[in-house]
Structure 1
Amino acid sequence: MDFDPLSLFTPAVATVEDEEQELLNIAEPSASIYRVDSGPEVESESESEEALDEPVHFLDLPLLQLSPPNEVLLLFLKLLAPEQVHNFSKESTATTAIEDPPLSSDIFTEKDVEALVPAALPWLCQYCPRFNSAEKLIRLPSLSGSLKSQPSYNSWLTKVISTPTASDDVLKQGSLRISENCGRTAQPEIIRKITIPDLEKFGKSYISLREPSLTSDNLGLKTWGSSLILSSRLVKSCTSGKSKYMIEPILELGSGTGLVGIVASLLGYETILTDLKEIVPNLQANIDLNEDGAAPKAQVEELDWTNPAPFVSKAPSRKNSYKTIILSDPIYSSQHPYWVVDMISVFLSVEPNARVLIQIPLRPKYEQERALLWRLLDKSGFVAQEEEIEDGFDDFGEMKFCFKQLKRKQRDEQDKGEQY
């Protein structure tokens, strides 16, 4: 085997601190080189659009060794705040189309930094050439996508909140940026903006959904992909004010953040949205958030699948009274199939046209639970009138989803089944 003398050489690894110190050494001797004048001779035909639109690197951020004032730190922290969550992703179908934010001073209003910009610019002109003008600052939110995937970004944020002179606002915003950059389960509360093709025909261009921090025992506080796909189906199938799938009265089981129930209400159908006691306050908040269109037709109530008696006691006639029952992503444990079928059997009307609409993600680890659900439904006398496998996604990636519309088997169908 040939000997390679370079194998004995181990180069020094450059660290974040080394890069920062190098820039610091450049900045300290003559800070005036960063000062920007209005004259054309300074910028030599001004900076090209390509230079202005380069992705932001963490070394473009204010160097903390230069002790940027709180106004500068707060300005950057607010501009680096994530845009409003729009559906689930920038990819895929029209249900997730997202327009790039416009490059205008409106971004300062949206980010609540109008007063911070003039206060921060003197320091930025002296020490931060990448963002030494309002025009450049406007571009920061749209150019920071790759920055947030760099480990050094979290390191910068950590140093920001460790700064002895950091104000309470800086500490709060810095902590939020760190949480937002640690994955969906660590993120703070968000407002998700849901757009669905043709929804505007029913008087609303989008739906706003409040999602508190996600915890493992409160999965109902999260909007899941099944609800968006089912909602899109309901909107698409509603023509001339009549739905292909829904008949009043409607009961939604496990409403979560309420997307499907709110959509059913917007389409003009009286709908009762139900969930566990700890989910109901946020569910009601989302009804209120969309009260301009959905509230008159939407009602929120607590319903525990293991103890439906309190729900029934409010109106004993509720048993076997709902002509449409809606469920979206209701299976999270081995017990859920039993509870789901129990609730359907208790509350679905016995009339021939009564139906169940169910949308379930085909998660790899839940094959047994899904198979159990279908067996229990069949055993309880339900048969699929329509079913479809669809592609979709949510915050956790791409997924296939199964939609089924089920009705009670007619007596002659049950008799035939019993013969075999």
Structure 2
Amino acid sequence: MRVLLSTYGSRGDVQPMAGLAVQLRALGAEVRVCAPPDKEFAKLLAGVGVELVPAAEPVRTLVTGTTPLPEGLPQRAAALVAAQYEAVAAAAEGCDAVVATGLVPAVAGAQSVAEKLGIHFVYVSYFPTMLPSPHHAPHPLPGRPFPPDMTDNRALWDLNALSYNALFGPGLNAHRVSIGRPPVDDVRNHVFTDRPWLAADPVLGPWREPSDLDVVQTGAWILPDERPLPAELMEFLDAGAPPVYVGFGSMPMRDSKGVAQVAIEAVRAQGRRAVVAQGWADLGLTDDRDDCFVIGEVNQQALFGRVAAVVHHGGAGTTTTAARAGAPQVVVPQIVDQPYWAGRVAALGIGAAHDGPTPTFESLSAALKAALTPETRARATAVAGTIRTDGATVAAKLLLDAVSRERPPVPA
């Protein structure tokens, strides 16, 4: 059996796909991943022996470049639909299934390939609030804010569907007509399907019923990381009390120097050392004191077990990794799903949700003080034991079983 996994997004989109790919391969499937051609994604996939099919332009170029104006989004979306379709179509010949996530136009392009080839398609979200539900509101799309007096979730989701049609419909339908497929009149529901998968931990990101969708929650797709920590980092960790980790992953954090300054000062105010992850914001040290250590991309699964707390942006992967490690968290949310994860961390009592995307010394100090209490540490340790690690295995078995049921019987 052959499976193509398709995504276009940051590392938080690609790494779970790598985790699923490893489990599919363990069950005997052949797997390819169609993803942005960023060097770090190629290295990640090569490290687990999975083929990368490059699609479109490197995503880091988009994230760290000039922020595009909302009025240009339909044109960019149309280009991404076409680019992902072209890449997936070339790689999906002979495949039995396509699993897709990431930016919606890229998912739509991959879905059109599966539709045209007549093969199994699955849309997956990494967080509950991406999917329509009466229990939560949608995320507003760029340039499409919600009316401030509208609070009914169903009404907001109806407006959200109109926004999807306005932003993505023209480009998607023009492309569908060009490949001989009929246009769609409800882009969001077409792309998400009526049975999407939710690759999030049931404790951290539960799906609430009843709902309008038949959501399959598999658990988070975790890629095991066996890499040792760098020797110099180990020396720093061993030289004193557990430090506080500060890193914002794929978030550009426009005032990166100011953010680093605030974070380091806030950590020092709690009497702690700091490990600062550069990330896409290119955070760095602010002086030459020996109580801070800067790192590049390392094994977070190993590192988070050695720190006093994790200050981060609230990506699904970082939140899950810190929760598994039993590390108290301070979430400084920036975009989309990150406020949701900040709220879940606070609700579970495993850390603090920072109010807003721009930390100040006062605000980050208050959040750190709450996260570093013995009570928060004890709660984080307790919740760590409830986090599932078999999500990718569950998903791999579900996918292969579904495809096997759809295959025509072999003649006797």
TM-score relative to the length of structure 2: 0.26
- Between the two structures, name the one with larger relative contact order (CA 8 Å, sep ≥ 6): 2
**TM-score (normalised: structure 1):** 0.26
Question: Which one has a bigger Cα radius of gyration?
Answer: 1
